[in-house]
Structure 1
Amino acid sequence: MQPVDYTTLVAICHSLNAEYIPSRLEQVYQCDRTSISLCLRSLKKKSWLTIAWHPQAARICIGNPPPRKKDTFTFSEQLRHLISGYALIGVNIVSEWERVVDLQFAQRPNEKPLYHLYVEVMGKYSNVILTNAQQQIITVAKQITSAKSSVRTVETSQPYQLPPPLTGNTPKIEESFTDWQETVNLIPGRLDKQLIKSYRGVSPTIAKELIHEANIELSIQNNQLTPDEWKSLYQQWQKWLATIHQKTFYPHTTPLGYSVLPPHDQNIVKKNLQEIIDDYYTKKINQENFQQLQQQLQQKIKNIAKKLQVKADKYKDKMNQSANSDIYRTQADLLMANLHQWQIGSESIILDDFTTGEPIKIPLAPDKNAIQNAQALYKKHQKLKRAKDAVKPLLEEVEEEINYLQQTLNNVLQLENNDIEDFETLEEIKAELISQKYIEDNQYRQSSNNQESQPRAFKTPSNFEVLVGRNNRQNDLLISRIATDYDLWFHAQEIPGSHILLRLNAGDIPDAKDLQYTANIAAYYSQGRESDQVPVIYTKPKYVYKPKGAKPGMVIYSNQTVIWAKSSDFIGN
Structure 2
Amino acid sequence: MKIQAVDYTTLVALVTELQRDWVPARLEQVYQYDKQTLCLALRTLEKREWLWLSWHPQAARMHLGDRPPRDPDTFTFSDQLRHLIKGSALLGIELIQPWERVVDFQFGRRPGEVPQWHLYVEIMGKHSNVILANADQQIVTTAQQISGDRSTVRPVQTGQPYEFPPALTKTAPSPTESFERWQERIALLPKSLKKQILENYRGVSPILLEGMIGAAQLTPEQTTDTLTANDWENLFQQWQRWLACLEQRQFCLTLQDNQYQMVTWQPDESCLPLQPTLNHYYQSRLNQQQFQQLHHQLSQKVSLLLGKLQQKAQLFRTRLTESTEADQYRQYGDLLMAYLHEWQPGLTKIALTDFASGDRVKIPLQPDKNAVQNAQAFYKQHQKLKRANHIVQPLLKEVETEIHYLEHIEASLGQIANYENATDLEALQEIQAELIHGGYLKTNREPTAKQAVSKPHIYSTPGGSELWIGRNNQQNDHLTFRVANDYDLWFHSQEIPGSHVLLRLEPGAVPDEAELQWAADFAAYYSRASQSDQVPIVYTKPKHVYKPKGAKPGMCIYKQETILWGQPQRAKAAIAKLTQSTDQSEKK
TM-score range for the pair, normalised by the shorter chain length: over 0.9
Give per-residue Cα distances to partners, 1:63-107, cap 9 Å, x unaligned: 122222322222222222222232222211111111001111232
1: CA distance, partners of 2:119 / 2:198: 29
1: CA distance, partners of 2:128 / 2:230: 40
Give per-residue Cα distances to partners, 1:510-568, cap 9 Å, x unaligned: 11111111112112211122222222221222332222222111112233222222222
Give per-residue Cα distances to partners, 1:117-144, cap 9 Å, x unaligned: 1100011111111111211111111111
Deviation at 1:383, TM superposition (A): 1.1
2: CA distance, partners of 1:311 / 1:478: 33
> Conserved in 1, the CA contact under 8 Å of 2:284 and 2:422?
no
From 143, 164, 175, give the equivalent of 1:173. 175
The residue that corresponds to 2:128 in the other structure is 126
The residue that corresponds to 1:398 in the other structure is 399
The residue that corresponds to 1:185 in the other structure is 187
Aligned pair 1:340/2:354, yes or no?
Answer: no
The residue that corresponds to 1:564 in the other structure is 565
Where structure 2 has 5 or more consecutive residues not aligned to the other structure, the ranges are 575-588
2: CA distance, partners of 1:85 / 1:542: 54
> 1:156–1:325: structure 2 CA closer, same or farther, 3 Å change rule?
same
The residue that corresponds to 2:577 in the other structure is none
Deviation at 1:450, TM superposition (A): 4.3
Give per-residue Cα distances to partners, 1:12-33, cap 9 Å, x unaligned: 1111112222222222222221
> Conserved in 2, the CA contact under 8 Å of 1:469 and 1:478?
yes
Amino acid at match of 2:280: D
1: CA distance, partners of 2:313 / 2:152: 54
2: CA distance, partners of 1:220 / 1:327: 85
What are the within-5 Å matches in structure 2 for residues 105-254 of structure 1? 105-254=107-256
> Conserved in 1, the CA contact under 8 Å of 2:453 and 2:475?
no
Deviation at 1:206, TM superposition (A): 1.0
> Conserved in 2, the CA contact under 8 Å of 1:69 and 1:449?
no
What are the within-5 Å matches in structure 2 for residues 35-434 of structure 1? 35-266=37-268, 268-354=269-355, 357-415=358-416, 416-434=418-436
- Which SS does the other structure have where 1:250 is aligned? coil
2: CA distance, partners of 1:182 / 1:359: 106
2: CA distance, partners of 1:567 / 1:225: 57
> Conserved in 1, the CA contact under 8 Å of 2:30 and 2:40?
yes
2: CA distance, partners of 1:329 / 1:225: 97
Task: Please identify, of 281-290 and 398-407, the stretch whose mean Cα deviation from structure 2 is larger.
Answer: 281-290
Give per-residue Cα distances to partners, 1:207-237, cap 9 Å, x unaligned: 2111211121233233333333222222211
2: CA distance, partners of 1:399 / 1:242: 70
- Which SS does the other structure have where 1:27 is aligned? strand
Give per-residue Cα distances to partners, 1:315-339, cap 9 Å, x unaligned: 1111121122222223223323333
> 1:420–1:366: structure 2 CA closer, same or farther, 3 Å change rule?
same
The residue that corresponds to 2:25 in the other structure is 23
- Which SS does the other structure have where 2:115 is aligned? coil
Deviation at 1:461, TM superposition (A): 1.4
2: CA distance, partners of 1:534 / 1:221: 59
What are the within-5 Å matches in structure 2 for residues 466-505 of structure 1? 466-505=467-506
Aligned pair 1:549/2:547, yes or no?
Answer: no
Deviation at 1:357, TM superposition (A): 4.7
> 1:447–1:426: structure 2 CA closer, same or farther, 3 Å change rule?
farther
Aligned length: 571
Deviation at 1:503, TM superposition (A): 2.2
1: CA distance, partners of 2:57 / 2:287: 14
1: CA distance, partners of 2:160 / 2:453: 45
- Which SS does the other structure have where 1:109 is aligned? coil
1: CA distance, partners of 2:297 / 2:484: 33
Give per-residue Cα distances to partners, 1:353-384, cap 9 Å, x unaligned: 45555443211112222222122112212211
1: CA distance, partners of 2:369 / 2:306: 47
> Conserved in 2, the CA contact under 8 Å of 1:68 and 1:449?
no
> 1:495–1:187: structure 2 CA closer, same or farther, 3 Å change rule?
farther
Task: Please identify, of 446-455 and 107-116, the stretch whose mean Cα deviation from structure 2 is larger.
Answer: 446-455
Q: What is the TM-score of this pair, normalised by structure 2?
A: 0.93
- Which SS does the other structure have where 1:507 is aligned? coil
The residue that corresponds to 1:511 in the other structure is 512
Task: Please identify, of 295-304 and 185-194, the stretch whose mean Cα deviation from structure 2 is larger.
Answer: 185-194
> Conserved in 1, the CA contact under 8 Å of 2:453 and 2:474?
no
Q: What is the TM-score of this pair, normalised by structure 1?
A: 0.95
Give per-residue Cα distances to partners, 1:448-479, cap 9 Å, x unaligned: 26433233222221122222112212212223
- Which SS does the other structure have where 2:420 is aligned? coil
RMSD of aligned residue pairs (Cα, Å): 1.9
Amino acid at match of 1:511: D
- Which SS does the other structure have where 1:70 is aligned? coil
